[in-house]
């Protein structure tokens, strides 16, 4: 059974999509952090891959994702407010703690 989106579903999709060309560099970097964060959790084997519906553990890739997040946070923290800085540092700490637990 094939599902073809109707007009209202297409309109909702368009409203939910973001034109990344309109984002400034700091917004783009925060978007990258969100994407890398999700991948890191998957690579640690702590979240299911939605494409395959399976757990796939690859700690080397998780480490790369976490290191990239750390680097990006270091670069942007002087340009974001304290609340956002704390949120990103917390996100990073959670990843690092869980990564070290997965390494055991």
- 9, part of any domain: no
pTM for this model (two decimals):
0.80
Rounded alpha-carbon distances, angstroms, from residue 64 to 5, 59, 79, 83 = 37, 9, 24, 26
What string of DSSP letters covers 15-30? HH---GGGS-HHHHHH
Tokens for 97, please give them: 């703690």
User: What is the tens place of the pLDDT at every residue in 39-70?
Assistant: 999 999 999 999 999 999 999 999 999 999 99
| Residue of higher predicted confidence among 93 and 10 | 93
pLDDT band at 17 (very low <50, low <70, confident <90, very high): confident
Identify whether 8 is part of a domain: no
Task: For 70-100, write each residue's pLDDT tens digit.
Answer: 999 999 999 999 999 999 999 999 999 999 9
Residue 6: inside a domain, yes or no? no
Residue 75: per-residue pLDDT:
95
The whole domain housing 83 covers: 24-103
Confirm whether 58 is domain-assigned: yes
- As for how many domains the chain has, the answer is 1
Residue at 36 is within a domain: yes
Alpha-carbon distance of 58 to 99, in angstroms, equals 11
In a domain, 17, yes or no: no
Please give the angle made by the CA atoms of 80, 86 and 92, to the nearest 5 degrees: 105
Top pLDDT among 68 and 2 is at 68
- Answer whether residue 1 is part of any domain: no
Would 91 be classed as within a structural domain?
A: yes
């Amino acid at each position: 059974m094939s599902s073809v989106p109707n007009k209202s579903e297409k309109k909702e999709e368009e409203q939910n999509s973001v034109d990344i060309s309109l984002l400034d560099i700091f917004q783009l970097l925060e978007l990258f952090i969100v994407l890398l964060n999700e991948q890191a959790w998957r690579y640690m084997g702590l979240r299911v891959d939605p494409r395959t519906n399976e757990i796939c553990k690859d700690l080397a890739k998780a480490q790369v994702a976490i290191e990239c997040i750390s680097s990006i946070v270091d670069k942007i923290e002087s340009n974001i407010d304290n609340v956002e800085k704390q949120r990103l540092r917390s996100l990073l700490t959670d990843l690092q703690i869980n990564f070290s637990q997965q390494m055991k």
